[in-house]
Chain A
């Protein structure tokens, strides 16, 4: 790891802002190289790029927002520790999603061993029943509003009801837009398995959602 003196670190307002702009313009690979070259602020750039994306993925996978946030944090800690070992011929996003996906799978496995009722699951339904209608689109009639809200709930439930392995590929494909090759790498499966899981996930999803769709 190349050493970088403290004088080279941008410290003050304008200089730091300019440095941040420079980092923003870099590709993931460039930011990784900057960090490995000793620029600690580059790690902050990686966090900014991936925190909410990973949170969305992990939240859809484990269904608990607080826990998802902990897992995303753990992902970044692992990235920090092992970035020097990252094979830079691969895509950084695939690597970080692989770490997140493994953590989410472990979480689900642990949860199946020690089942507990999540307060958030109860609260989610409560919120849906008590959410004021005026925050919704006023162009719709009450029936439409109810149906729209119900459809959203059904869609969320449908994702949550998918089996673990189907859910991960479904969320990564539909929400994160990953290619089949990336899915194979993240899940550690071959392309055939990925295709099969995704197709089954879509079938299950359609079955649950169908009654609510015209």
Chain B
């Protein structure tokens, strides 16, 4: 057996598919041929490395996506059937219902026809009045409003002891004591 004959029929030898005479001749050739021994070693070692490579795994979204696709599997054919029957573009979920009859957990039952909804009529006696912006009744009311806004701005967050104790990182929100609250109230009254 020559080297090219061995390499051309290597798979027969490697997978033990050759007839007994071939297997004996191939083994004899291997014993005396370092080049073909190396060839066999390269193939076997390469395949061993290939098998040791980590294989990919499906992602976390694989199963939910598959379930979603299967759930909508009948949509396309059902729509086409509906269109061919000239019944408009209402969704025909009959196929899905049949799936549900099979006992399928993937295919829940749904309505087989478009729902009809009756609403009470709306009676209109006059046009709707829309308020655009806020206009003060008089110049005096405008002045009062401006003074009130100014006072709110000047007061600010830090002048309010309740807000101060409630949101201070030192009082730690819920764990603040009643005495701290009383003290803050007192200080506010004295200061105010």
Interface of A is mostly: helix
Interface residues of A in 184-214 (CB under 8 A from B): 195, 198-199, 202-203, 205-206, 209-210, 213
Q: How close is A69's CB to chain B, nearest CB, in angstroms?
A: 6
Interface of B is mostly: helix
How many Å lie between the Cα of A40 and that of B8 in the bound state? 49
* Docked-complex contact A158 and B46, CB < 8 angstroms: yes
What is the interface of chain B, defined by CB distance below 8 A to chain A? 7-12, 14-15, 17, 38-39, 41-43, 45-47, 49-51, 53, 55-59, 62-63, 65-66, 69-70, 73, 101-106
Interface residues of A in 25-51 (CB under 8 A from B): 38-41, 43, 47, 51
Size of A's binding interface in residues, CB under 8 A: 46
What is the interface of chain A, defined by CB distance below 8 A to chain B? 1, 3-6, 8-9, 38-41, 43, 47, 51-52, 55-56, 59, 65, 68-69, 72-73, 76-77, 80-81, 151-152, 155-156, 158-159, 174-175, 180, 195, 198-199, 202-203, 205-206, 209-210, 213
* Docked-complex contact A199 and B9, CB < 8 angstroms: yes
Chain B residues whose C-beta falls within 8 Å of the C-beta of A41 in the assembled complex:
105
How many Å lie between the Cα of A8 and that of B102 in the bound state? 11
* Docked-complex contact A202 and B11, CB < 8 angstroms: yes
Chain B residues whose C-beta falls within 8 Å of the C-beta of A1 in the assembled complex:
102
Q: Which residue of B lies closest to A158 (CB)?
A: B46
* Docked-complex contact B53 and A155, CB < 8 angstroms: yes
How many Å lie between the Cα of A51 and that of B58 in the bound state? 7
Chain B residues whose C-beta falls within 8 Å of the C-beta of A39 in the assembled complex:
103
* Docked-complex contact A80 and B50, CB < 8 angstroms: no
Q: How close is B88's CB to chain A, nearest CB, in angstroms?
A: 26
How many Å lie between the Cα of A193 and that of B130 in the bound state? 83
How many Å lie between the Cα of A209 and that of B69 in the bound state? 41
> Nearest 10 CB-CB pairs, A to B?
A4-B103, A56-B55, A209-B46, A199-B11, A40-B104, A38-B103, A206-B42, A155-B49, A51-B58, A210-B42
Q: How close is A155's CB to chain B, nearest CB, in angstroms?
A: 5
How many Å lie between the Cα of A41 and that of B105 in the bound state? 8
